[in-house]
Amino acid sequence: MLMIRAIIRPERVNAVLSELCDAGFPAVTKIDVMGRGKQRGVKVGDVFYDEIPKEMLMMVVKDEDKDDVVKLIMKNAKTGQKGAFGDGKIFISPVEEAYTISSGSTGL
Amino acid sequence: MKEIMAIIRMDMINKTKDALLKEDFPSFHCKKVMGRGKKKVDYSLLEGLIGENERTLSPMLAEVISEGHRLLPKRLISLIVQDDQVKKAVDIIINTNSKGNQGDGKIFVLPVAETIRVRTGESGDEAV
């Protein structure tokens, strides 16, 4: 199992979530976060904003589903043809165990 | 070291806190999150709430029942424990939160590469 954490633009969340649901990955957790990237924030006039609001989508998927999910998120979170700075990042980390609380069973 | 991430119902956070404290897991952090699981939620039950009441709803509730998001509010708790404590902590969370209904939540166990205590700079197992 792998945990996918994608930090994306707040206005792209709806598009990503509905595509994920249609593709058969309904389970997802959304967390409001603030952050900056390699570009050190956004400069507007003389002011530098380095705490930019983003949304983090967290989901745990089977190893073989990783590529599909990442592709889906990339496709829908991108803005413009080539993409732009600030579209976000996706991080993937291993998950050793998963439990469902209601039944106590292991696995996704 | 392992990180235990548990997504639980909003109203169960106090009980879970107490249960973890009793069994000697005092340290953890928790966050308000929105989420959905495998189960499809029947939003038609909420349709009566929208409409004339829309302006008086709290922003969080409005987000839940609006057309766009359709995510439910949950609490995400995260605690770092030693390898041999994982089973115990997971059992506590399951026993406290399980009501046998879908939506009770999920628990994920992730490996942690390193822990460092900011106050002293010590790292490794004793820093947990």
Sheet holding A88-94, edge to edge: A88-94, A2-8, A52-61, A28-35, B29-36, B72-81, B2-8, B105-111, A97-100
Helix (H, G, I), strand (E, B) or coil at A91: strand
Domain-wise residue ranges, chain B: 2-36+72-127, 38-70
Report the DSSP pairing between strands B72-81 and A47-49: unpaired
Q: Which residues of B touch A100 (CB under 8 A)?
A: 104-106
What is the C-alpha to C-alpha distance for residues A10 and A52, in angstroms, rounded to an integer? Answer: 10
Identify the pLDDT of residue B126: 85
Q: Please give the domain boundaries of chain A with CATH numbers for all domains.
A: 2-94 (3.30.70.120)
Domain topology for B2-36+72-127: Alpha-Beta Plaits (3.30.70)
pLDDT string in tens for chain B (128-residue length): 999 999 999 999 999 999 999 999 999 999 999 888 887 666 666 666 666 565 666 666 666 666 555 788 899 999 999 999 999 999 999 999 999 888 899 999 999 999 999 999 899 888 88
DSSP character at residue A41: S
Identify the pLDDT of residue A41: 85
Q: Which residues of A touch B (CB under 8 A)?
A: 1, 3, 13-14, 17, 26-31, 58, 60, 93-104
Tell me if ipTM is over 0.90.
no
Q: Say if the Cβ atoms of B102 and A99 lie within 8 Å.
A: no
Query: Is B76 an 8 Å CB contact of chain A?
Result: yes
